[in-house]
Amino acid sequence: MTNAHSNWIAFKTIIIKEVLRFSRIWIQTILPPVITMGLYFVIFGGLIGARIGEMDGIRYMDFIVPGLIMMAVITNAYANVVSSFYSSKFQRHLEEMLVSPVPNYLIILGFMGGGICRGLAVGMAVTLVSLFFSPLSIHSPVVALSVVVLTAALFSLAGLINGIFARSFDDISIVPTFVLTPLTYLGGVFYSITLLPAFWQGVSMFNPILYMVNAFRYGFLGVTDFSLWLSYGIIIGFILALYGVALYLLNQGIGIRQ
């Protein structure tokens, strides 16, 4: 058996393991974000949105659907990897991979794959719920799909790095609570940044989630506040940087080997 074939099997094994893990506990992993997003649709889209009218020339409910789907994907891709990796460290079953001939880059890609799968599973479920409130129209399936997959990959890597450094269960909730959620809420999920004063528009430009939400919204509605290429560049740049950091940490054994 060649190394490439062996590595391919190992990669698939990690993905299957991860998918089975979150599927087994779907009441904790899939259902809550679907209910939360359903409430957002009802309250922000249905009740408040009816009074807001249009945003960027689009019905408010239709405007927030892509952002809410993206918000669910981001938080779930992140949460999946950080909790799975930290649990495997905490319970020490990460050692199953560490003693085996699985290269570190495959461990990263495997966990990332698991995070993408959870992100997409939740994203699909939220999209289905959104159909009760907004007709599904996809302007560019290629853009929508590529942006959602790349964004899930980015936040899976971020979750992995959080998991590598985490030393307690508190450590795995700090970043989602104090960094991820504020950035997502301020990332143009509920509004167009053209509504903001010039100063805050400038500040918002430093929020990478803004570009992801906008690019994803373009995939659905065909409107965006930024160049699509800028969005892709930022997402891919972050992916490469985070992958490099994660690989360095695992190669050095930081957080996983003494």
Partner 1 sequence: MPKALCIRQLTKTYKNGLEALKGIDLDVEPGDFFALLGPNGAGKSTTISIIASLVNKSSGSVSIFGHDLDRELYAAKRCLGLVPQEFNFNTFEPVQEILVNQAGYYGIPRKAAWKRAEKYLVELGLWDKRKDMARTLSGGMKRRLMIARALVHEPRLLILDEPTAGVDIEIRRSMWQFLKDINQQGCTIILTTHYLEEAENLCRNIAIIDHGQIIENTSIKGLLTQLNMETFVLDLSRPLARLPDLAGHRLRRVDDLTLEADIDREVSLNQLFVDLNREGIQVCSMRNKTNRLEQLFMHMVDRGRAK
Contact residues: partner 1, CB under 8 A:
1, 3, 5-7, 9-10, 12-14, 16-17, 20-21, 24, 87-88, 91-93, 95-103, 253, 257-258
Residue given tokens 């309250």 in the structure block: 43
Give the residue with the Cβ less far from partner 1, 100 or 201: 100
Nearest approach in angstroms of CB 87 to partner 1 is 8
Give the residue with the Cβ less far from partner 1, 46 or 103: 103
Q: How big is the CA angle at 90 (ends 88 and 91), to the nearest 5 degrees?
A: 65
Nearest approach in angstroms of CB 160 to partner 1 is 18
Give the residue with the Cβ less far from partner 1, 51 or 257: 257
Give the residue with the Cβ less far from partner 1, 54 or 96: 96
Amino acid 132 reads: F
Burial status of residue 153 (CB atoms within 10 A of its CB: 0-12, 13-18, 19 or more): buried
Give the residue with the Cβ less far from partner 1, 10 or 69: 10
Nearest approach in angstroms of CB 25 to partner 1 is 8
Distance CA 93, CA 121 (A): 25
Per the structure block, which two tokens stand in for 180?
Answer: 């991820």
Per the structure block, which two tokens stand in for 41?
Answer: 């649709």
Give the residue with the Cβ less far from partner 1, 2 or 177: 2
Give the residue with the Cβ less far from partner 1, 74 or 79: 79
Distance set, CA 170 to CA 83, 141, 167, 184, 195 (Å): 11, 38, 8, 21, 36
Which residues are CB-contacts of 258 (< 8 A; sequence separation ≥ 6)? none
Nearest approach in angstroms of CB 93 to partner 1 is 5
Distance CA 105, CA 44 (A): 41
Q: How big is the CA angle at 74 (ends 150 and 19), to the nearest 5 degrees?
A: 80
Distance CA 50, CA 71 (A): 22
Which residues are CB-contacts of 18 (< 8 A; sequence separation ≥ 6)? 80, 84, 110, 111, 113, 114, 115, 117, 118
Nearest approach in angstroms of CB 113 to partner 1 is 14
Nearest approach in angstroms of CB 96 to partner 1 is 6
Nearest approach in angstroms of CB 80 to partner 1 is 15
